[in-house]
Amino acid sequence: MARKKQTERSSHSTNTKAYIEHAGEVIDQEITSTLEKNYMPYAMSVIVSRAIPEIDGFKPSHRKLLYTMYKMGLLSGARTKSANVVGSTMKLNPHGDMAIYETLVRLSRGNEALLHPYVDSKGNFGKAYSRDMAFAASRYTEVKLDPICQELFRDIDKDTVDFVDNYDNKLKEPTLLPVTFPSILVNANTGIAVGMASSICPFNLEEVCNTTIELMKHPNHEISTTLTAPDFPGGGQIIYNAAEMDKIYRTGRGSFKVRARWHYDKSCNCIEITEIPPSTTTEAILDKVVDMIKSNKLREISDMRDETDLSGLKLAIDLKRGVDPDTLMQKLYRFTPLEDSFSCNFNVLIGGTPKVMGVRELLQEWIAFRQMCVKRRVYFDLNKKKEKLHLLEGLKKILLDIDKAIRIIRETESEEEVVPNLMIAFGIDEVQAEYVAEIKLRHINKEYILKRTEEVGALGEEISEMESILDDPKKINRIIIDELKKVIKNYAQPRKSLLLMQEDVQSFTEESAVENYPVNLFFSREGYFKKITPQSYRMSSEHDLKEGDEILQHVEGNNTDNLLFFTDKGQVYKTKASEFEDTKASVLGDFIPAKLGMDEGESAVYMAVTPDFVGYMLFFFENGKVAKVNLNAYETKTNRKKLVNAYSTKEKLSAALCLREDGKVLMTASNGRMLILPTGLLQAKATKDQQGIQVMKLTKGSVVSEATIYEEGTLEDDHRYMAKELPSRGDFLKMAQV
Per-residue pLDDT reduced to its tens digit, 391-450: 888 888 887 788 888 888 888 888 888 899 989 888 899 999 988 888 887 777 778 777
Instruction: Name every residue whose Cβ is closer than 8 Å to that of residue 271 and which is 6 or more positions away in sequence.
Output: 262, 263, 264, 265, 316, 317, 319, 325, 328, 329
- Is 152:137 a contact under the CB 8 Å cutoff? no
Instruction: Name every residue whose Cβ is closer than 8 Å to that of residue 303 and which is 6 or more positions away in sequence.
Output: 317, 318
**Superfamily of structural domain 374-491:** Topoisomerase, domain 3 (1.10.268.10)
Residue 534: cis peptide before it, omega within 30 degrees of 0? no
With the C-alpha atoms ordered 487, 491, 497, 503, is the resulting torsion angle positive or negative?
positive
With the C-alpha atoms ordered 48, 49, 50, 54, is the resulting torsion angle positive or negative?
positive
- According to DSSP, the residues that pair with 264 across neighbouring strands are 271
pTM of the model: 0.73
Q: Residue 513's pLDDT is what?
A: 58
Neighbours of 137 (CB within 10 A): 13
- Is 203:224 a contact under the CB 8 Å cutoff? no
Phi (first) and psi of residue 246, to 5 degrees: -65, -35
**Which segments within 660-696 are labelled E, that is strand?**
664-669, 673-678, 693-694
Q: Residue 16's pLDDT is what?
A: 42
* CATH class for the region spanning 261-337: alpha beta
Residues in the chain: 738
Nearest partner of 226 among 243, 203, 244, 247, judged by Cα: 203
Q: Residue 100's pLDDT is what?
A: 96
> Taking the domain 510-732, which CATH number applies?
2.120.10.90
- According to DSSP, the residues that pair with 143 across neighbouring strands are 80, 121
Per-residue pLDDT reduced to its tens digit, 611-662: 889 999 999 999 999 999 999 899 887 777 889 999 999 999 999 999 999 8
Distance of CA 273 to the CA centre of its chain: 19
| Per-domain boundaries in the chain | 58-178, 261-337, 374-491, 510-732
May I ask the CATH architecture of the domain 58-178? Alpha-Beta Complex (3.90)
Q: Residue 508's pLDDT is what?
A: 63
Query: Which sequence positions are flagged as catalytic?
Result: 140
Whether 58-178 shares its CATH topology with 374-491 is answered no
Question: Mean pLDDT of successive 10-residue segments in the chain (738 residues)?
Answer: 43 46 73 81 84 94 96 94 96 92 96 96 95 94 97 95 94 96 94 91 97 96 95 95 95 95 93 95 94 85 91 93 88 93 95 94 97 96 93 83 85 88 90 87 77 83 93 95 97 95 75 74 93 89 87 90 92 90 88 91 92 92 92 83 90 92 91 90 88 90 90 83 87 62
Determine the straight-line distance between the first and last CA of the chain, rounded to whole angstroms.
132
Q: Residue 213's pLDDT is what?
A: 97
Q: Give the integer Cα–Cα distance in Å for 537 and 552.
A: 17
Q: Give the integer Cα–Cα distance in Å for 216 and 220.
A: 9
In angstroms, what CA-CA distances link 513 with 267, 316, 332, 538, 561? 23, 20, 11, 27, 13
Q: Give the integer Cα–Cα distance in Å for 259 and 331.
A: 12
Query: What single-letter DSSP state applies at residue 268?
Result: G
Phi (first) and psi of residue 607, to 5 degrees: -115, 120
- According to DSSP, the residues that pair with 174 across neighbouring strands are 163
Q: Residue 232's pLDDT is what?
A: 96
- According to DSSP, the residues that pair with 721 across neighbouring strands are none
- Is 330:234 a contact under the CB 8 Å cutoff? no
Give the helix/strand (H/E) hosting 209.
helix 205-217
Q: Residue 23's pLDDT is what?
A: 67
DSSP assignment of 524-577, as one string?
ETTSEEEEE-HHHHHH--PPP--TT--EEEEEEEETT-EEEEEETTS-EEEEEG
